[in-house]
Structure formats: C-alpha cells, structure tokens
Amino acid sequence: MYKTYELAHILIKEHVKDNDLVVDATCGNGFDTLFLSKLVPNGKVLAYDIQETAIRNSKALTKDCNNIEFFLTSFENINVSNCSCVMFNLGYLPNGDKNITTTKDQTINAISNLVNSFDVNPDMVIFIIAYPGHDNGFIESNAIDEYIKTLDSKLYLATTFKPVNQVNAPYLITINKKKNR
C-alpha cells in the first residue's frame, strides 16, 4: 500500500487543478512544496514555516520553480479564501531540531480558522498528516482527533486514514465541506 504522504499526494492530485492556488502549511524541507508546485504549474503555492532553516531548505529544493511564495510565519496566519487545498505535514523538521514542533493549540487554531473559511470557499480540502509517534505529536494528534469529532456531520466530512496494526504510526486526516446534493 502507500505511505501516508503518498496517499495524501494521490488524494490531492484528484482534487487540485493546474491553475489552482494551494497552501503548504508546513514547508519543512520542501518535498510537499515541490510536489504542489509541479501540480499547479499555472497556479501558485503559498508555503509557510516558522523556521528559517525550513524556508531555506525548501527554497533550495524548489529553486527551479517560479510559482511559490514563502512565508516565515506560523500556519495560524494563513489567510486565504480562494485556495483549493491546504496541506499540513505536522511534527518537527526532519533532520532538524526535534524540540521545535507543531503544537496542538496552534494546529487546532489553524484548522479551525480554515474550517470557518469553508463558508467563503466550500471547495477547499484540508489535508493533515499527523505524527503521534513523539510526545508532542501524540498530544497534537489526539487534540486534532477530538476537534474533528466536534464538526457538524451535516456540514463537514472529516476522514481519517490510519494504519490499524501499527502503534502510533503517521496517519492522514481530510476535512471538507459537504456538497448539497
């Protein structure tokens, strides 16, 4: 089967068009940023991270891409109403300082802000890869799971793709507004 990020990429490919605006909420070392950039050659990627090292690494990996704008700030500051998807790859910067992680409060605030923007942008999909295998990630992923349970099931669809035979393995969460049919 697929690794968690590969499944996220497959689902994002099905949703995003080549001229869309997309957001990488955690650009890290740039792999998701590069993936998104190639997916929207006629669109734009907004890439966020709180670490200068992450921005620098992402810029180096995507140096040949001309459709990316980087923001050295928290994903809590994402303020877009016309993007087709927002991708979170939570945790810490691979090969970076493992003490600098995404946190449950910031993550829930960011997700909540995006869910509130579904009224303006009902076609957006939120993709979240959670990592419960480290202390902060375990707390954060549990908080996200609890938060998405509170979403009105008549308005939103929240799904979780989680390995059931692996303890604390990374998993994918998607959130979108339901369509009136």
Residue 111's contacts (CB-CB under 8 Å, 6 or more residues apart) are: 88, 126, 128, 144, 147, 175
Domains of the chain: 4-177 (3.40.50.150)
Q: How far apart are the first and last CA of the chain?
A: 32
pLDDT per position as a tens digit, 149-173: 999 999 999 999 999 899 999 999 9
Please state the pTM of the whole predicted model: 0.96
Query: Cα 100–103–106 angle (5° rounding)?
Result: 120
- pLDDT at 181 exceeding the cut of 60: no
Q: In the prediction, which pLDDT does 174 show?
A: 98
CA 119, CA 141: separation in Å to the nearest integer?
Answer: 25
